Structure 1
Amino acid sequence: MTINASFNKLKTEKKNLIINAAIKEFVRNGFDKASTNEMVKEANISKGSLFNYFHSKKDLYVYLIEYGIQVIEYLYEQIDLNETDLFKRIENIGLQKFHIHRKFPHVFDFLASSVKEESADVKDIIRKKVDPIYKQGTEIIYKNIDYSKFREDIDVEKAIEILNWTMSGFGEKALQQINSFEDIDEFGSLYFKEWERYSEILKASFYK
């Protein structure tokens, strides 16, 4: 990956604008069909500037992958491993993701879409860089969890599978709704109240 040092010298606001514009376009169209014209239009920079910062579309994509991984690693660092209740752990992760989403609204979508990316130009890089970080995340999310809270007649692995499906669906629903709110804090408050309702239903089903 080749990146011009001048990109890192940009003001944070301008860097974030370029990052978000590029991520949004890659999520929308995938690597091969993503248009650098659309990226520079949204970021309000010239195409020459973009290719001065990143020598190719592939360099830009790889940079964003590595940037997204840094964001995910930061998220993992914020997880309180002393919290042994699975539902509270998940709530904490949701809160951290919400804060990250405020700054980089498409980063989680980008990493999720990268796993499905089939372009030969970047497929191997994704498998090498992204797959391990998701595996690490699964290990961290469930580390030090007190499984004794689950009822004895419950298959814990199946319960976690159901919980993962619920989280995934709830997260997708939230991402679809978030842009319709002018007040992001209002959305956050409603989001966590709704998750509490889901959580109570699942707790009643799985916990002693």
Structure 2
Amino acid sequence: MNEKFFDLKKEKQDRIINAALRAFALGGYMHASTDDIVKMAGISKGLIFHYFETKLGLYQFVYDYSVRVINLEITTGVSRDITDFFTIREEIERVYSVCMQQYPYIKLFMYRAAVEDTPEAASAILETRENYDESIRKILDRGDITRFKPEANYQIVDDMIQMVNKEILEKMFQEGVFQPEDYYEEVLKYMEMLRAISYD
């Protein structure tokens, strides 16, 4: 990637990043169109290839950039002192909601990238994705599971949280009503319900 991309005005950087995030989140790598990206960003196609050389270069950049944005927010947004299973998950979702205020499609893109099946795209982000997944898992593993009822499998609950959050996000985008704060409030409702039925 051409480092001169960061010499562009921040507003223009964000237009390009947001256009790419949207395209890759909705279509995956294979179906994302650079024509759609440049149209949405209001730039020339030549500019994309000047800074990123290829569509794959752009994909890898926006993934790496997304991870950096999320990790930066996590360092200040998730306290190391929190050990409650659900509170940790709520804090991580709050971090995502903060990130989505500037980059609305960032979390949907991360969901899509996690299951990307185009070999060259999956390979390009593999190392970064594995490091990111490991860092998130280390935070989640701080969660105290001793409060769970014997019949409440915390691993299944964790899977349910991920599935529900993804469904909430996708539904809001499909209905054209997505707002980061509304997403977070909706997530909290489900978390509280799961907390109530899972804890002793």
Q: TM-score, normalised by structure 1?
A: 0.82
Instruction: Select the residue among 68, 71, 74 that pairs with 1:73.
Output: 71
How far is the alpha carbon of 1:43 from its aligned partner? 0.3
Equivalences for residues 52-131 of structure 1 within 5 A: 52-77=50-75, 78-131=77-130
Change beyond 3 A, Cα 1:120–1:69: same
Looking at CA atoms only, which structure, 1 or 2, has the larger radius of gyration? 1
Deviations 1:167-186 (A, max 9, x none): 431343144326416x765x
Distance 1:94 1:150 in 2: 21
How far is the alpha carbon of 1:7 from its aligned partner? 1.3
Aligned to 1:166: 161
Q: Alignment length, in residue pairs?
A: 197
Preserved CA contact (<8 Å) 2:25 2:108: yes
- In structure 1, the residue corresponding to 2:82 is in which secondary structure? coil
How far is the alpha carbon of 1:137 from its aligned partner? 0.7
- RMSD over aligned CA atoms reads 2.3
Change beyond 3 A, Cα 1:200–1:116: closer
- In structure 1, the residue corresponding to 2:172 is in which secondary structure? helix
Change beyond 3 A, Cα 1:49–1:96: same
Change beyond 3 A, Cα 1:48–1:197: closer
Change beyond 3 A, Cα 1:202–1:25: closer
Preserved CA contact (<8 Å) 1:75 1:93: no
Deviations 1:2-35 (A, max 9, x none): x223311111111001001012112222223321
Deviations 1:126-155 (A, max 9, x none): 222212311321221221x3333223x245
Preserved CA contact (<8 Å) 2:29 2:118: yes
Instruction: Select the residue among 190, 195, 198 that pairs with 1:198.
Output: 190
Preserved CA contact (<8 Å) 2:100 2:180: no
Deviations 1:51-88 (A, max 9, x none): 11211111111111211221232243221121122222
1:177 and 2:182 correspond: no
Unaligned runs of 5+ in 1: none
Q: Which amino acid aligns with 2:29?
A: F
Q: TM-score, normalised by structure 2?
A: 0.85
Preserved CA contact (<8 Å) 1:115 1:127: no
Change beyond 3 A, Cα 1:80–1:122: same
Q: Give % identity.
A: 27
Distance 1:14 1:196 in 2: 34
